[in-house]
Amino acid sequence: MSRSAILLGLFALIGTGLVALVFTATEERIAESERQFMLRNLHAVVKPELHDNDIFHDMITVIDPQRLGTKNPVPVFRARKNGEPVALAITPIAPDGYVGPIKILVGITFDGTVLGVRVLSHRETPGLGDGIEEKRSDWVFGFNGRSLSNPGSKGWAVRRDGGQFDQFTGATITPRAIVKAVHKALKFYALNRDQLFQKTSLSPTEIHTEITHEEEATHE
């Protein structure tokens, strides 16, 4: 084998190795970025001072298409204080947004009161439906302190539908979808509270903040 052929082979091997290293490093950065994004939102809806466990790793997945808006597993993060359950955060899908599904995060106290709601991802119309983002308006804070009894069942709707939650000027579909999704998440929690805190934790190796094509197809 000629010296030039050996050198070419060596360069190709080094090049392949460098590409693999860059790909691995990029994957790790993306995974860390997603983890930090989720942690920021978890701490927004379940304040760190409320618990002393690692909420990100005290995680299970559940499936309830009727109440959680998707056939896919939905992550649930449990918060505990001195070993006792105090709250959790669940990530249901609002399948009927104006443009498409909306992924949200709902923090719920052990007794079933909403601690906070955040939108993790959406494709709603800028300037109209994007008022669901806390950086755009304070609308999403209207869920704080709510529960299945506050308001009652009829109150869990936008005002245009006779409920107690505001809609946006020129945009009713988006807030309606979020209100329904939060209400259903509370119903799911009420039905499954004890089991949710008893299930064995699962490793959060695949926590995606974007809605997948499979999830989108589920609601077409």
Chain segment 156-200, per-residue pLDDT in tens: 999 999 999 999 988 899 999 999 999 999 999 999 999 999 887
Is the pTM above the cut of 0.85? no
Residue 206 confidence (pLDDT) = 38
Write down the H helix ranges in the chain: 3-45, 65-68, 173-198, 213-218
Residue 42 confidence (pLDDT) = 97
Distances (CA, A) of 159 to 36, 79, 146, 167: 36, 33, 16, 7
Residue 5 confidence (pLDDT) = 64
128 against 36, higher pLDDT: 36
Average pLDDT along the chain:
85
Chain segment 57-116, per-residue pLDDT in tens: 999 999 999 999 999 999 999 999 999 999 999 999 999 999 999 999 999 999 999 999
User: Does the pLDDT at position 11 exceed 80?
Assistant: no
Give the pLDDT band (50/70/90) at residue 212.
very low
Q: What is the dihedral of CA 143, 148, 150, 156, to 10 degrees?
A: 60
Q: Are 106 and 79 in contact (CB under 8 A)?
A: no
